[in-house]
A and B are shown apart, each in its own frame.
Chain A
């Protein structure tokens, strides 16, 4: 990128490994003073990890961080803030039962020989708070403040440091009302005017266009693009976020009848505080079909498949699965009927990290391999070896811990577990997230194979190319609603992007991240 500015902070060649995943691979990132430096990417792209490294929460496995041209190694956030690098987390780190001023000085209390000097604290707090938004009383209890005000206190906390240079904001608008967002944006303008560099992380593309100056896009732990915001559009961002991998997967046709395996009508999941996370969704899945569900973060895709699996008892709608009408799905019931879910977050929901590869594969199906209630070791071994071979899981020994595998192979284990449970309907939520290209291709070939064997496959994805390459039919979801049902040649990037943005600006819902599973 051509620019005349000198960065205040730079990350050079950052690599970060976690057990099972490469979170960042050789990433460079420059932060310019007096500008909003946007960091964007889908979940798992590595934004949070990069942010944590800059703020001193995590240490990079390789690479270095420069501040004002000098290399720095922050041991913790305290040290980082001492150097003028502050961070505001998405989850506010505040103590609701403490006063505003005590919150601001928590951990760095002004004291006289160990006795807190509340007067001076209050004075300092007012000085900073008034600069941001007058009217917050420093002796008010934190819990009495509105979320927007609480966020201002968080910002004020970082501004107590005299020499604040870089302020990292992780999804600062995710819990704010529209009016509060306006206040925040005004505040950001003020901070810019003071020459402070803002690192801004958000999923809300319209916000980025509005307040961003520079944008850096991460995908799968790699930096894929950066640009000045004035030169780009939302579509440009989406294209780069979701990728241009050159995938070719042979769509092996299914020879049998394309009869329906599952029909759902009016599936609805109400959201706390009004509206719907899943808004009256209806569709049919056929035998031998890979059905894509495309949409941006928070469009309700994950929640939709979770409802079908029985994870949200408060959802309503009717489901006919293999000819049987199911009023109230339960996880065990759905698995018994042959429906499986490969969850979005394989570390949290897919794997038991303390168990071996073999035992993870056997999690669901182990009761099949028993005689009079006793596990038949030989049968288990045969079945596991067969699955490992069939799915080309690269293992040295199936008795090793699951965490010894790479992300792609871990994902294959999660899918293998479903295969061993004799699944007929595969619902795969972002199965290609955070794994290398080779493993991705393997997993797409597997999906086509499941379909060719006469199963129904649902592929929830956010990478356009992947969806287009793998699916026979694509449903597009936006703000909880299904906005398009495309098949064959109708499935184009333009059509998908248009449909996924169809509801984007009308509601806030489409950008609230994450899902809550009871």
Chain B
């Protein structure tokens, strides 16, 4: 075996491999072209903004999910965190916080509400993370449990009812909640929700690419034992990704509640599946160690365009589900085929 020859398979990039690697991007382009012709209103500014708004809400979940999956885990609790945080925010806005020891009720202002809700999400993520990292509970089980607990808590908050009309009250000093989702930068008509998503995506990409933590996230997912023996505090890394994921879910929950101006306990149901689908479409490996934030954003775009495009075309919601399922499976199959081909090419090249 000669060492000089080992690098060869990587320097010869064939066109086929290039097409395989950029497949999600190509799929997105095909979808965009297809819907531009077939769906009425698809290319109007209004619909574009609407789609990006949808993408932002789902996308926040997918950003956190990417990090979790890269560590080799999974977070099933994000959808119910969306519901729980919306309910907590809505409840505080309408009913305030009852303080038994002064026998009164205080009405926190909007920034304080956000702070409390985010703290709650951090707590949920911290608990899941501890269970997974220290007690070695499988991530699937730990976050499945968290999912039920959060959904149940969301229902309990109002007895299953909706908190409507979340505009706030000048007398209570909590105006402005609806602006988070509905407001936009004056003049350019870019909603805050989109800005929030872009900022969070940049932060996530920054962590993954530019900080030691990001490197350690990849290392933990790639080979946990080797990471541990290299002195990486694998428990801290794991707890971080679940906290970050829960925090992003809380942001998503707040934005959605604000846009609807109402909090319903079933909000965000099964969104974790959308998030996982986007992450996988974006090329992140479910077995950990491989994936990028950029890939996930393309994955989110594919899922959203597919969803909204089909709605605009008037495809029945039942068919939408079937088509989404097919797209996800095909994407993963192509991913596996590509990896297999690469491995074989590398081995064959070494034998020569």
A residues contacting B by CB (< 8 A) are 17, 19, 22, 61-62, 309, 311, 331-332, 335-336, 341, 343, 348-355, 359, 362-364, 366-367, 370, 373-375, 394-397, 400-401, 403-406, 409, 417, 421, 436, 517
**Contact between chains at B231 and A421 (CB < 8 Å):** yes
Interface membership of chain B positions 212-225, coded 1 if the CB is closer than 8 angstroms to chain A and 0 otherwise? 10011011011101
Binds A, one of B2-10, B195-203, B269-277: B2-10
Give the most central of A336, A354, A406: most B CB within 10 Å. A354
**Contact between chains at A436 and B1 (CB < 8 Å):** yes
A240 CB to nearest B CB, Å: 24
What residues on A are CB-neighbors of B168 within 8 Å? none
Chain B: interface secondary structure?
helix
Q: Which residue of B lies closest to A414 (CB)?
A: B226
| Among all A-B residue pairs, the 6 with the closest Cβ atoms | A396-B7, A354-B289, A352-B222, A335-B231, A354-B222, A394-B3
Q: Which residue of A lies closest to B224 (CB)?
A: A352
Q: How far is the CA of A196 from the CA of B351 in the complex (A)?
A: 36
Q: Which residue of B lies closest to A377 (CB)?
A: B210
Q: How far is the CA of A351 from the CA of B351 in the complex (A)?
A: 23
**Contact between chains at A404 and B223 (CB < 8 Å):** no
B341 CB to nearest A CB, Å: 14
Q: A352-B218, A359-B215 are in contact. Are A331 and B229 (CB under 8 A)?
A: yes
Contact of A406 among B6, B10, B229 (CB under 8 A): B6
Report if B290 contacts A (CB, 8 A). yes
What residues on B are CB-neighbors of A61 within 8 Å? 347, 351
**Contact between chains at B343 and A19 (CB < 8 Å):** yes
Report if B14 contacts A (CB, 8 A). no
Q: How far is the CA of A199 from the CA of B304 in the complex (A)?
A: 59
**Contact between chains at A370 and B222 (CB < 8 Å):** no
Contact of B212 among A19, A355, A375, A395 (CB under 8 A): A375
Contact of A363 among B232, B285, B351 (CB under 8 A): B232
Contact of B230 among A364, A374, A406 (CB under 8 A): A364
Report if B23 contacts A (CB, 8 A). no
Q: Which residue of A lies closest to B218 (CB)?
A: A355
Q: How far is the CA of A61 from the CA of B1 in the complex (A)?
A: 14
8 contacts between A and B (CB under 8 A): A311-B229, A349-B226, A352-B222, A363-B230, A366-B212, A394-B3, A397-B10, A405-B6
Report if B350 contacts A (CB, 8 A). yes
Q: Which residue of A lies closest to B70 (CB)?
A: A354
Report if B316 contacts A (CB, 8 A). no
What residues on B are CB-neighbors of A351 within 8 Å? 223, 226
Report if B12 contacts A (CB, 8 A). no
A393 CB to nearest B CB, Å: 9
Q: How far is the CA of A373 from the CA of B11 in the complex (A)?
A: 33
Q: Which residue of A lies closest to B214 (CB)?
A: A375
Could you list 8 further interchain pairs (A-B, Cβ under 8 angstroms) beyond the known A375-B211, A375-B215?
A19-B346, A311-B229, A349-B229, A370-B212, A405-B3, A406-B6, A409-B3, A517-B225
Q: Which residue of B lies closest to A366 (CB)?
A: B212
A412 CB to nearest B CB, Å: 11
**Contact between chains at A359 and B218 (CB < 8 Å):** yes
What residues on B are CB-neighbors of A404 within 8 Å? 6-7, 9-10, 346
Q: How far is the CA of A373 from the CA of B203 in the complex (A)?
A: 13
**Contact between chains at B215 and A366 (CB < 8 Å):** yes
Report if B133 contacts A (CB, 8 A). no
**Contact between chains at A400 and B228 (CB < 8 Å):** no
Q: How far is the CA of A262 from the CA of B216 in the complex (A)?
A: 30
Q: Which residue of A lies closest to B5 (CB)?
A: A396
**Contact between chains at B221 and A354 (CB < 8 Å):** yes
What residues on B are CB-neighbors of A62 within 8 Å? 351
A103 CB to nearest B CB, Å: 28
Give the most central of A343, A362, A375: most B CB within 10 Å. A375
What residues on B are CB-neighbors of A370 within 8 Å? 211-212
What residues on A are CB-neighbors of B7 within 8 Å? 395-397, 400, 404
Contact of B211 among A22, A374, A409 (CB under 8 A): A374
Q: How far is the CA of A436 from the CA of B346 in the complex (A)?
A: 19
**Contact between chains at B6 and A354 (CB < 8 Å):** no
A201 CB to nearest B CB, Å: 26
Number of interchain pairs (Cβ within 8 Å): 109
Report if B134 contacts A (CB, 8 A). no
What residues on A are CB-neighbors of B94 within 8 Å? none
**Contact between chains at A352 and B219 (CB < 8 Å):** yes
What residues on B are CB-neighbors of A350 within 8 Å? 226, 229
**Contact between chains at B4 and A400 (CB < 8 Å):** no
**Contact between chains at A406 and B1 (CB < 8 Å):** yes
Q: How far is the CA of A405 from the CA of B346 in the complex (A)?
A: 10
What residues on A are CB-neighbors of B229 within 8 Å? 309, 311, 331, 341, 343, 349-350
Q: A343-B229, A354-B289 are in contact. Are A406 and B210 (CB under 8 A)?
A: no
What residues on B are CB-neighbors of A354 within 8 Å? 218, 221-223, 285, 288-290
Q: Which residue of B lies closest to A404 (CB)?
A: B6
Report if B172 contacts A (CB, 8 A). no
What residues on A are CB-neighbors of B347 within 8 Å? 17, 19, 61
**Contact between chains at B231 and A352 (CB < 8 Å):** no
Q: How far is the CA of A432 from the CA of B9 in the complex (A)?
A: 27
Q: Which residue of B lies closest to A380 (CB)?
A: B215
What residues on B are CB-neighbors of A401 within 8 Å? 10
Report if B227 contacts A (CB, 8 A). yes
Contact of B219 among A363, A406, A409 (CB under 8 A): A363
B195 CB to nearest A CB, Å: 23
A382 CB to nearest B CB, Å: 17
Q: How far is the CA of A343 from the CA of B229 in the complex (A)?
A: 8
**Contact between chains at A403 and B346 (CB < 8 Å):** yes
Interface membership of chain B positions 15-59, coded 1 if the CB is closer than 8 angstroms to chain A and 0 otherwise? 000000000000000000000000000000000000000000000
Taking CB atoms and an 8 Å cut-off, the chain B residues in 210-259 that contact chain A are: 210-212, 215-216, 218-219, 221-223, 225-233
A460 CB to nearest B CB, Å: 15
Q: A359-B218, A406-B1 are in contact. Are A364 and B211 (CB under 8 A)?
A: no
What residues on A are CB-neighbors of B233 within 8 Å? 332
What residues on A are CB-neighbors of B346 within 8 Å? 19, 403-404
Give the most central of B216, B219, B233: most A CB within 10 Å. B219
What residues on B are CB-neighbors of A373 within 8 Å? 211-212
What residues on B are CB-neighbors of A367 within 8 Å? 212
B4 CB to nearest A CB, Å: 7
Q: How far is the CA of A400 from the CA of B290 in the complex (A)?
A: 14
Q: How far is the CA of A72 from the CA of B219 in the complex (A)?
A: 42
B168 CB to nearest A CB, Å: 37
Q: How far is the CA of A352 from the CA of B219 in the complex (A)?
A: 6
Q: How far is the CA of A397 from the CA of B11 in the complex (A)?
A: 10
What residues on B are CB-neighbors of A395 within 8 Å? 7
Q: Which residue of A lies closest to B213 (CB)?
A: A373
A442 CB to nearest B CB, Å: 12
A385 CB to nearest B CB, Å: 16
Q: How far is the CA of A405 from the CA of B215 in the complex (A)?
A: 21
Q: A332-B233, A352-B222, A436-B1 are in contact. Are A375 and B210 (CB under 8 A)?
A: yes
What residues on A are CB-neighbors of B227 within 8 Å? 352, 363
What residues on B are CB-neighbors of A359 within 8 Å? 215, 218-219
Q: How far is the CA of A2 from the CA of B130 in the complex (A)?
A: 64
Q: How far is the CA of A336 from the CA of B222 in the complex (A)?
A: 23
Q: A350-B226, A355-B218, A363-B219 are in contact. Are A394 and B4 (CB under 8 A)?
A: yes
Q: Which residue of A lies closest to B223 (CB)?
A: A352
Q: How far is the CA of A351 from the CA of B226 in the complex (A)?
A: 6
Contact of A362 among B11, B215, B221, B222 (CB under 8 A): B215
